[in-house]
Amino acid sequence: MARNTQVAADHNAPPITRILAEYVAGHASRGWSDAVDHEAHRTFLNWLGCAVGAARHEAMEAALAAVQVLQPAPQATLLGRAEKVDIASAALLNGITSHTFDFDDTHLKTIIHPAGPVASAVLALAEHTGASGRAVLDALVLGIDVACRLGNTVYPEHYDRGWHITGTTGMFGAAAGCARLLGLDADRTAMALGIAASQPVGLREQFGTMTKPFHPGGAARAGLMAALMAQHGYTASPRAIEAPRGWAQVVSTKYTWNEVTDELGERFEISFNSYKPFACGIVIHPSIDACVQLRERGIRPEQIERIELKVHSLVLELTGKKEPADGLQGKFSVYHGCAAGLLFGRAAEEEFADEIVNRPDVVALRRKVVATVDDGIDEASADVTAVLTDGRREHVFIEHAIGSLQRPMSDADLERKFHGLSDGILGAQRTSELLAACWSLGTAADVRGLAALARP
Amino acid sequence: MARNTQVAADHNAPPITRILAEYVAGHASRGWSDAVDHEAHRTFLNWLGCAVGAARHEAMEAALAAVQVLQPAPQATLLGRAEKVDIASAALLNGITSHTFDFDDTHLKTIIHPAGPVASAVLALAEHTGASGRAVLDALVLGIDVACRLGNTVYPEHYDRGWHITGTTGMFGAAAGCARLLGLDADRTAMALGIAASQPVGLREQFGTMTKPFHPGGAARAGLMAALMAQHGYTASPRAIEAPRGWAQVVSTKYTWNEVTDELGERFEISFNSYKPFACGIVIHPSIDACVQLRERGIRPEQIERIELKVHSLVLELTGKKEPADGLQGKFSVYHGCAAGLLFGRAAEEEFADEIVNRPDVVALRRKVVATVDDGIDEASADVTAVLTDGRREHVFIEHAIGSLQRPMSDADLERKFHGLSDGILGAQRTSELLAACWSLGTAADVRGLAALARP
């Protein structure tokens, strides 16, 4: 029956679904700069390390046990594990593990974590089809471009309403990447995007539970299956993204279509991807960074009388926990972050283990941190002075933390992070081989060798 | 980072997720009237017939081909087909076929088609676990209750915004039904509902494409997997449905929580389920019904000079196509509907085949229909007079069409509809056996015998 209570709608939206489909199907392989292509390698490598690192996490154990009820075919690798499962389940499970530690990549304009949905789908499919490493990188760049451009279109209203944007745009990225990998033409790619449009995955209410990392995994699986269905003739609306009752207008009150079309094929959103050096909320990063630098100047914990920390008020509001009781609380304690930076020179997932947070030397050091608010300092900065027992003062000011777009992690930083995640799962030697396989992905005949290196 | 642009939110919502979890986990088996239990059989039977009828539809062929790329395990039956697939894929594919002809059931308060998501998930899981027929019926009643109560909570705003409510509430129904079937306690049932909450499936923009029937299928698969994951310890927010950034408040501006709690466990939403007698839009049903009754009075097409049809203006607005060119257009032609009713005494999927719509005697008869608008007649009614060649006038007034809550289809009507869908796929004899298995479902030791009857 006709209804009268209609939401205001844009009936004249440009053909966004078609534009993206033609782009994904038609853009030249490696049709971008060396910098973009290098970023694709970094994005892939960082995603892979995160997934390997969480391979034995309880979220993975629970999700894998559920998937194994399906008796899946051994088609594709689970990163960091010996089991193989069907490609849709591999997309799901690798998507979960890569986001489990909240340590993956971030498209800073939208807070999308783009590799989880896209790389998880693309690698699983490529392992099965035998696609080349080059094809995987192309699919990754284009898939991330589609997801992040659609994110730009609806951000921030869509996120503010309560959607976890990684999984509610990620299914487009996965569908686009897999459609590209399958060599679908623009018509079928549009159908893949259309089938994906009906399947946004993710609510912010889930933050703090295993369903948060489920979101990129679910989006990866949805996108991969959408591409397979489109390949076999399944249909969807050719205006599923932009129509008045299509995705954008249903999930957001903001939809700036030019975010999709501006410089399409010239500017690539993967260029704005960043990688977390520390496994905790981003507002603590400048303080940790400063303490790591103090350590690199040779300052030892036993020399320290006091750490004077000046930060924006938001930092203490979000992460002002003085006496964290466990690892999870440690992620919300700038005091613990500083102690970890000084003691270990890093703050990866291990430095947020319950045992570390409660270790006497860690507790003693964090109690020497005296934090004061200074709203003259930017949220993204930190001012840290170590007052030593001999009276000396060592000062570090961090304007932009390591991992920001202004100070990106170097390739060596990424490798160190990867080793920290993977050595305990695959061993240091195998991890080094896997890293080498990531850097040479663009010339690999297929991805099966790389996938095999990721199985213990 | 903290954001300021917040949507108005209800921070004091009752614990809806918990209330539903306790209900699903704790309500007594067959804890309802005989009438409710009979409705469960009717709902199941009608769903089954729809799925069998569409077993060879091109949507099924495309989706099955995609699923078969996964090399699925032969765990569960695809209704009306010889292939077996894993239980998650069976939930998906049977959910698709049961809605492919738009001929399934309707919860009239919300326009939810509830059996597609719930029965598709529950039957596939029960076939695998060996659950009893009684357990399947319990899961069906409770799953439909959860989906439709949550539908009542957000309808109509949620639907008006553009969500296809069948798939955006159906994952809750499937999760609830499967959690019940697995015997999960209230804690794990809440986790199943929570995991499902992140996965609404369906945009109204997809109407007219294969992605419309994908919605109940996708919801069935999502709910089944959510229950399996919860069973194995996967976690979600215990307030995933009602929290400010949970499902209801993210997907709707209306959320009337008492729709969940009022008479919970006493009034069952399956009691408001209805079944379509004709495979077309509901506004044509009274006119077809009237013509079927004229035929039953013995009136033959060759006797007819003219059919005078008086209907509400909305009927001609939505279905006023005078010369439909094919079957799909026939579904939007009250003229064709009248001709089918008079000629065949029915208007199932076959009567909307291209060949039928273009058959000379059908075309000749529909041209004798003269429709006039009378807004004194309700949208749900029709006034039809056959003017015969001998000058006689036969008049029928339909206040409520067959299939409405006021004039429900009889069990015999449902059986006839089922034969119409299934005889061409399974044969008449096997179809009769399958019908008998549906009626005796409550006493079946398991559902495997029934499932076997649904394979050609």
Task: Determine the distance in angstroms separating the CA of A389 from the nearest CA of chain B, rounded to an integer.
Answer: 36
ipTM over 0.90: yes
Residue A320's pLDDT band, with cuts at 50, 70 and 90, is: very high
Q: Which of B381, B383, B280 is nearest to B333 (CA)?
A: B280
Tell me the residues of chain B between 73 and 92 that have a Cβ less than 8 Å away from chain A: 73, 75, 86-88
Q: Considering CB atoms only, which of B65, B231, B240 is closest to A203?
A: B240
Lowest mean pLDDT among A421-430, B1-10, B145-154, B270-279: B1-10
pLDDT greater than 80 at residue B309: yes
**B212-229 confidence digits (pLDDT tens):** 999 999 999 999 999 999
**A265-297 confidence digits (pLDDT tens):** 999 999 999 999 999 888 899 999 999 999 999
Q: What is each CA distance from B100 to A53, B50, B217, B248, B353, in whole angstroms?
A: 43, 8, 10, 27, 14
pLDDT greater than 90 at residue A318: no
pLDDT greater than 50 at residue A5: no
Tell me the residues of chain A between 193 and 232 that have a Cβ less than 8 Å away from chain B: 194-195, 197-206, 208-211, 214-215, 218, 225, 228-229, 231-232
Amino acid B203: pLDDT = 97
Q: Are A146 and A25 in contact (CB under 8 A)?
A: no
pLDDT greater than 70 at residue A395: yes
Share of chain B above pLDDT 90, in %: 86
Q: What is each CA distance from B237 to A416, B42, B143, B414, in whole angstroms?
A: 34, 35, 20, 41
Q: Which domains does chain A have, with CATH numbers?
A: 16-276+438-453 (1.10.4100.10), 282-398 (3.30.1330.120)
Share of chain A above pLDDT 70, in %: 98
Residue A9: CB atoms within 10 A of its CB come to 15
Residue A329's pLDDT band, with cuts at 50, 70 and 90, is: confident
Tell me which amino acid residue B455 is.
Answer: R
Mean pLDDT, chain B, rounded, equals: 94
Task: Determine the distance in angstroms separating the CA of B198 from the nearest CA of chain A, rounded to an integer.
Answer: 5
pLDDT greater than 70 at residue A343: yes
Q: Looking at chain B, which residue has its C-alpha nearest residue A4? A: B160
Amino acid A298: pLDDT = 96
pLDDT greater than 80 at residue B133: yes
Task: Determine the distance in angstroms separating the CA of B342 from the nearest CA of chain A, rounded to an integer.
Answer: 25
**Mean pLDDT score, A172-190:** 97
Amino acid A3: pLDDT = 42
| B316 vs A: CB within 8 A | no
Q: Which of B167, B171, B161, B170 is nearest to B254 (CA)?
A: B161
pLDDT greater than 70 at residue B242: yes
- Cβ–Cβ of A199/B201 closer than 8 Å? yes
Task: Determine the distance in angstroms separating the CA of A387 from the nearest CA of chain B, rounded to an integer.
Answer: 30
Residue B268's pLDDT band, with cuts at 50, 70 and 90, is: very high
**Mean pLDDT score, A377-388:** 95
CA angle B346, B347, B350 (to 5 degrees): 110
**Mean pLDDT score, A29-36:** 94
Sign of CA dihedral A441, A277, B5, A378: negative
DSSP-based three-state secondary structure for A395: strand
Q: Which residues from chain A sit within 8 angstroms of residue B10, using beta carbons? A: none
pLDDT greater than 60 at residue B4: no
Amino acid A7: pLDDT = 53
Q: Considering CB atoms only, which of A157, A211, A314 is closest to B194?
A: A211
B44-58, B68-82, B395-409: range with highest mean pLDDT: B395-409
**B310-320 confidence digits (pLDDT tens):** 999 989 988 99
| B233 vs A: CB within 8 A | yes
- Between strands A304-311 and A382-388, the pairing is antiparallel
- Distance CA(B149)–CA(B168), nearest Å, equals 13
| A167 vs B: CB within 8 A | yes
**Mean pLDDT score, B9-13:** 88
Share of chain A above pLDDT 90, in %: 85
pLDDT greater than 90 at residue A214: yes
pLDDT greater than 90 at residue B102: no
pLDDT greater than 80 at residue A391: yes
- Cβ–Cβ of B199/A194 closer than 8 Å? no
Which residues partner with A393 through β-bridges?
A387
Amino acid A4: pLDDT = 38
Amino acid B3: pLDDT = 42
- Distance CA(B407)–CA(A392), nearest Å, equals 91
pLDDT greater than 50 at residue A2: no
Two tokens at A199?
Answer: 């399947």
